[in-house]
């Protein structure tokens, strides 16, 4: 491989496959999850890495069942904190957590108050040292719920405008034994009305979708009436919540991995076509229909989090939009030579577009990022590898559009 054109992204895990226990985008969201890219040539890794290692987040990344009365703060031992963004996803939907950086720039703490029970916290930190080097760090953790209680975590937040490919997905904080009882307590309706059907993936995740993608202008209402519902022996719900989504314009991005192009169609018309680099022969991009789960202007991608070891670690991947739980992204690429885009597939499974370090608005990646929202469909075709290239699994992100309507309806607990 040309060292000036390193492989990027994560689409097909080598040593593990996605199980049915999938966090919602929250889950699904994020929001929140393993990501990956290769280490670019010329990246000044020493100083940014030492600064990054100086960033400490308490609770640690990946912590589960954190006590609601526990400690929560962000610290940096050298340099100063430039920005700390924290979001909470739980019974009240997705909310920003207000906090303050100390006068010396070394510590961030939230406003007074305990951590919310049964919630998922996403933390994004940007710090700089005295020489101006920047480091970013991303972490997630979840808090405990009262013994025996469960909640359903959803994403995105209430009153969000979503794309026509959005699938309403709930992940429960505890395994559900009586899936029928829980399903009866949840409704997803649309205006104008269409049939919406549920599908269980295991005993912790319940998704809802219509036969075909939503029509633009549709209003979706999700009602969770779980308070007091028995999910099984000694397990009961503690949630009563109504969530509203509005479906925006109809947009689909189609990736032709053989032609190295990404074509954006909005309301049936071609909006733009961009040259891309997709997964290489050893790590081809999944074929099939995927949905944008989250959008981040900058994120870290580390091969250790998705089974590629130390193959790559990029601290500032720009314009990143997640497509799968296993780590497939569409994102900006500032380290590959211009001749790669539109000509060669060099990544570990992601779809890369030309970009600048820090993310340029006028670059192909920047323009696509600005044109896209959570819930937009991304279809990948003609991805090829050394062996068979499968279609993305229905529970890998919001891959349920790859199931027929009959297959989908068979996943209901109420037949």
What amino acid positions are annotated as catalytic residues? 331, 350
What's the rounded Cα separation, in Å, for the pair 404 and 408? Answer: 6
Give me the DSSP letters along 322-374. Answer: E--TT--EEEEESSS-TTTTTT---BSS-EEEE--TT--TTSHHHHHHHH--T
Question: How many CA atoms does the CB half-sphere of 295 hold within 13 Å?
Answer: 18
DSSP three-state, residue 1: coil
CB 258 within 8 A of CB 284: no
ω before 59 within 30° of 0 (cis)?
yes
> Token pair of 234, please?
């000694």
Question: How many CA atoms does the CB half-sphere of 202 hold within 13 Å?
Answer: 17
Distances (CA, A) of 381 to 107, 253, 404: 47, 11, 18
- Pairing mode of beta strands 294-302, 288-291: unpaired
Distances (CA, A) of 178 to 174, 183, 233, 298: 12, 9, 9, 41
DSSP 8-state assignment for residue 386: S
DSSP three-state, residue 310: helix
CB 150 within 8 A of CB 238: yes
How many other C-beta atoms are found inside a 10 Å radius of the C-beta of residue 374? 26
What's the rounded Cα separation, in Å, for the pair 246 and 148? Answer: 34
ω before 325 within 30° of 0 (cis)?
no
């Amino acid at each position: 491989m040309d060292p000036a054109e390193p492989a990027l992204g994560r689409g097909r895990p080598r040593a593990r496959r996605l199980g049915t226990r999938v966090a919602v985008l929250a889950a699904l969201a994020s929001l929140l999850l393993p990501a990956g890219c290769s280490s670019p040539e010329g990246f000044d890794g020493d100083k940014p890495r030492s600064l990054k290692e100086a960033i400490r987040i308490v609770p640690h990344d990946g912590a589960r069942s954190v006590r609601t009365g526990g400690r929560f703060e962000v610290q940096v031992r050298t340099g100063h904190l430039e920005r700390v963004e924290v979001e909470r996803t739980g019974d009240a939907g997705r909310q920003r957590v207000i906090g303050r950086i100390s006068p010396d720039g070394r510590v961030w703490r939230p406003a007074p108050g305990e951590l919310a029970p049964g919630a998922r916290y996403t933390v994004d930190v940007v710090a700089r040292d005295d020489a101006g080097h920047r480091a970013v760090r991303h972490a997630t953790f979840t808090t405990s719920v009262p013994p025996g209680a469960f909640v359903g975590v959803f994403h995105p937040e209430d009153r969000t405008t979503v794309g026509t490919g959005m699938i309403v997905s709930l992940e429960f904080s505890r395994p559900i034994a009586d899936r029928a009882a829980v399903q009866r307590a949840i409704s997803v309706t649309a205006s104008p009305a269409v049939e919406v059907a549920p599908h269980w993936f295991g005993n912790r995740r319940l998704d809802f979708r219509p036969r075909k993608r939503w029509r633009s202008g549709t209003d979706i209402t999700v009602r969770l009436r779980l308070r007091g519902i028995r999910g099984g022996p000694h397990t009961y719900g503690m949630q009563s919540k109504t969530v509203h989504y509005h479906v925006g314009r109809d947009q689909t991005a189609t990736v032709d991995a053989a032609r190295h192009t990404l074509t954006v169609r909005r309301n049936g018309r071609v909006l733009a076509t961009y040259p891309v680099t997709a997964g290489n022969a050893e790590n081809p991009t999944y074929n099939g229909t995927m949905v944008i789960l989250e959008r981040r202007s900058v994120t870290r991608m580390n091969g250790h989090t998705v089974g590629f070891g130390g193959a790559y670690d990029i601290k500032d991947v720009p314009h990143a939009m997640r497509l799968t739980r296993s780590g497939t992204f569409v994102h900006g690429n500032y380290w590959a030579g211009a001749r790669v885009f539109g000509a060669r597939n060099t990544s570990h499974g992601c779809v890369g577009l030309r970009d600048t370090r820090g993310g340029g608005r006028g670059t192909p990646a920047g323009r696509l990022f600005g044109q896209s929202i959570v819930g937009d469909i991304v279809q990948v075709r003609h991805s090829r590898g050394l062996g068979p290239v499968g279609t993305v699994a229905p529970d890998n992100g919001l891959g349920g559009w790859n199931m027929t309507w009959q297959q989908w309806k068979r996943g209901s607990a109420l037949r």
